[in-house]
Copies of this chain bind each other. A is one copy, B any other.
Amino acid sequence: MDYEPSSGDSIRIKTEKGVYSGIVMPRHAFSRDDILLIKLDSGYNIGVPISEIKDMDILEKAEKRSKSSRYVPKGRGPKIGLISTGGTIASYVDYRTGAVHPAVTSEELLFSVPELADIADIDAKVLFSVLSEDMEPRYWTYMAEEAGKALNSGKEGVIIAHGTDTMGYSAAALSFALSNLTGPVVFVGSQRSSDRPSSDATMNLLSAARVAASDLGEVAVVMHGETGDEYCLIHRGTRVRKMHTSRRDAFVSPNSKPIGRATPDGVELNGHRKRSKGAVEVRPDFEEKVALIYAYPGMEESVLDSMLSDSKGAVIAGTGLGHIKSSLIDTVRAHIKDGKSIVMTSQCLYGTVNMNVYSTGRDLIKAGVISGGDMLPETAYVKLSWALANLDEGIGAFMKKNIAGELGEARYL
């Protein structure tokens, strides 16, 4: 092949497998020299081995196409900040290994979804590039600071592109770190990378942009609402959980209803908090020494004790209405006497903790365990981490108070 196509060129190629037309994608850190990455008109990306290309037509050179704003998006509409943090939505497939790697620049992300420019005037920034599973509380701090700064400097909303594994934790974190929200902070991710035909990246990102431009004054997660491409659901940041390893509609709101639906064409909101006036308050600190402990029949006193010893506080995902083995209560009591805050949630995930029904629960209350009500274990963990870093006293009362929609009414505290 004589011609070396440039990023942004509109081309048509012929291979043994068929004819494809689309726009040449930019090269990135993991690009392979002998693979041409093309964004098809369908919105999906494919990697074609250059050796298999039999014929190629340049439909339009990038320079000439620049005015059409299809590949160098020049948005119109509300100013939205796009903060890229890593994850599949900002990833490329390494065609040598089949592995997925994070994209390095926000331009790559923007380029892959040029339709964003039709919805908003996007100001994109790669804050960091961290796999979802590698997120730690300090990244919550960075994201909270960045989102607060964006809203307080005139952005109408913020989109945070994030890996899906721990997106629920991060969304809960920003729900507590940011208050008096003057605009939406919208987490978005994708379950399938944009190189795959079944990718949800484009629709999720466009829907998230609609939500970021809406009247919402909360932290939310926007992801596919069903297995097709019909709509995305808008989940409250403190109520959302990834409940499937791979389905596009993996995110659900246990014990709560999503606060709306979105598509690339618009938004419907329901029971949401609206934008506040004034400035966003940012209190971005989190205590790192908090444990999330799953109760199980064989849990030994020594294991529980060492987890609690290493922590300033802990959330237990107990069984049923909020129980642990009664033989472990002494250990819990001792750590609470030492000044640690221990919160009970349920590994059932649905329903609410109620430690008044059975003797074990009442003994836990007497030992000073704080009821997590109907909070998700993950949300309670994040909330406790925030509370320990920001409050000098009253941790128990704070955990039992509804701060950001994380607690429902049908609860027994």
Indicate if the CB atoms of B243 and A325 lie closer than 8 Å.
no
Whether B320 contacts A242 by the Cβ 8 Å rule is: yes
Q: What sequence of 0s and 1s flags, for each residue 269-287 of chain A, a beta carbon within 8 Å of any chain B beta carbon?
A: 0000000000000000010
Neighbouring B residues of A98 by C-beta, 8 Å: 356
Does A153 touch B at the CB level, under 8 Å?
no
Collect the chain B residues with CB atoms within 8 Å of residue A135's CB: 297
**What residues on B are CB-neighbors of A320 within 8 Å?**
132-133, 163-165, 242, 245
Contact of A381 among B165, B247, B288, B296 (CB under 8 A): B296
> What's the nearest-Cβ distance from chain B to residue A190, in Å?
12
Which of B250, B323, B350, B377 is the one whose CB lies under 8 Å from A133? B323
Would you give the 0/1 interface string for A138-158, flagging 1 where the beta carbon is closer than 8 Å to chain B?
Answer: 001000000000000000000
Q: A247 and B385 in contact (CB under 8 A), knowing A298-B288, A323-B133?
A: no
Q: Which residues of B contact A377 (CB under 8 A)?
A: 294
Pairwise interchain contact B300-A296, C-beta atoms closer than 8 A: no
Interface mask (A318-337 → B, CB under 8 Å = 1, otherwise 0)? 11111111110000000000
Q: Is A100 an interface position by the 8 A CB rule?
A: yes
* Interchain CB contact under 8 A, B351 and A247: yes
CB distance from A217 to the nearest CB of B (A): 25
Say if the beta carbon of A391 comes within 8 Å of chain B: no
Minimum CB–CB distance for A321 against chain B, Å: 5
Q: With a CB–CB cut-off of 8 A, which chain B residues contact A350?
A: 243-245, 247, 250
What count of chain A residues pass the 8 Å CB interface test? 74
Q: Pick the contact of A294 from B292, B298, B348, B353 — CB < 8 Å? A: B292
Let me know if A245 and B132 touch, CB within 8 A. Answer: no
B357, A100: Cβ atoms under 8 Å?
Answer: yes
Query: Within the assembled complex, what's the spacing in Å between the Cα atoms of A358 and B97?
Result: 10
Bound CA span A110–B149, Å: 66
Contact assessment for A296 and B292 in the assembled complex, using a CB-CB cutoff below 8 Å: yes
Please tell me which stretch of A75-83, A219-227, A302-310 contacts chain B, meaning at least 4 of its Cβ atoms lie within 8 angstroms of it: A302-310
- For window 79-137 of A, CB contacts with B under 8 Å fall at 98-101, 131-137
Chain B residues with CB under 8 Å of A140's CB are 297
Closest to A100 in B: B358
Q: Does A360 count as interface, using CB distance less than 8 angstroms? A: yes
Closest chain B CB from A19 CB (angstroms): 30
- Say whether B319 contacts A166, CB under 8 Å: yes
Residue of B nearest to A315 (CB): B296
Which B residue sits closest to A93, measured CB to CB? B357
Number of copies: 2
Chain B residues, Cβ within 8 Å of A231: none
Contacts of A245 in B (CB 8 A): 320-322, 346, 348, 350-354
Indicate if A246 sits at the interface (CB-CB under 8 A).
yes
Task: Tell me, yes or no, whether A362 is within 8 Å of chain B by CB.
Answer: yes
Q: Is the CB of A99 within 8 A of B385?
A: no
CB-based contact B297/A348 at 8 Å = no
Interchain CB contact under 8 A, B385 and A319: no
A359 at the interface (CB under 8 A from B): yes
| Closest chain B residue, CB of each to CB of A91 | B358
Is A169 located at the chain interface by the 8 A CB criterion?
yes
A166: B residues at CB distance < 8 A: 297, 319
Binding site for B on A (CB under 8 A): 98-101, 131-137, 140, 163-166, 169-170, 242-247, 250, 286, 288-300, 302-303, 306-307, 310-311, 317-327, 346, 348-354, 356-360, 362, 377-378, 381, 385
Question: 14 other contacts beyond A133-B320, A246-B351, with CB at 8 A cut-off?
Answer: A100-B357, A131-B359, A133-B319, A136-B297, A136-B298, A165-B321, A165-B323, A245-B322, A246-B354, A250-B351, A288-B300, A291-B299, A293-B294, A303-B307
Can you list 14 A-B contacts (CB < 8 A)? A135-B297, A165-B319, A165-B323, A170-B297, A242-B319, A243-B348, A243-B349, A244-B350, A250-B351, A290-B298, A292-B294, A292-B299, A296-B381, A298-B385
